[in-house]
Amino acid sequence: MFGFNLMEMVAGLPGLVMALSLHEYAHARVAVAMGDFTPKMMGRLTLNPMAHIDPIGLIMLLVARFGWAKPVMVNPNNFRDRVKGDILVALAGPAMNFLVAFLATAFLVFYADVLKMPVTPGLRSVLWLIVIYNLNFGIFNLIPIPPLDGSRVLMAVLPPEMQYKLAGLERYSFLILILFLMTPVLGYILVPLQRLLLSLYLTVLGVVFAPFL
């Protein structure tokens, strides 16, 4: 999911920090909008990465390809609409990652193809890794395995008996995710969806920037 090359690690640090902190900020922002002020009271309604980054989780991402941020604590009982709140809060994090990836792609296309400015290898690497890491983080978090965001969306729409069974998977989730990372399974999920989203981004940007090209 992430590389081991030292230069790539340095170039990828902005992308990782953005992917983690903006993901968690989006969870907090939508939770507050849905009526739960727990994230605000806990200081998570901020764009300051220090409020969201778990140092160990970030280091693990850099060196072991598996890491985490500080999870945003919410109280679903405070949501004006419990089901809608659960779904929107869960989707907010991945949606933010996809938005950041799109904006970074748009900046790269605008800078290089519209302004015709030379893109240095360093700048291209930083922007490209912002795109890739945010795409990967967004897609990964939509996998319906507890405690990932995809499982929260699924839990919100399943009948109670199925919710109980899905929640029971959480005791095995760490082993399942390690298995994903140690085998090609995760790549089979990430790569096709990554290519699909990039193709969609470039199609949209091709239409938006067509008058300037």
By annotation, the residues acting in catalysis are 24
The SS3 call for residue 118 is coil
DSSP 45: S
Distance between CA atoms of residues 134 and 101, nearest Å: 6
CA dist., res. 52 & res. 182, Å (int): 27
CA torsion sign for 173, 185, 6, 104 is negative
Spatial contact of 39 and 25, defined as CB atoms under 8 Å apart? no
**Using CA atoms, how far apart are residues 53 and 55, in angstroms rounded to an integer?**
6
Q: Which two tokens stand for residue 121?
A: 């290898």
Task: Provide the angle, in degrees to the nearest 10, between the axes of the packed helices 82-109 and 185-209.
Answer: 60
- Distances in Å between the Cα of 121 and the Cα atoms of 15, 100, 102, 165 are 16, 20, 20, 49
Single-letter amino acid, residue 25: Y
* CA–CA dist 43, 124 (Å, integer): 34
Calpha distance 130→84 (Å, rounded)? 30
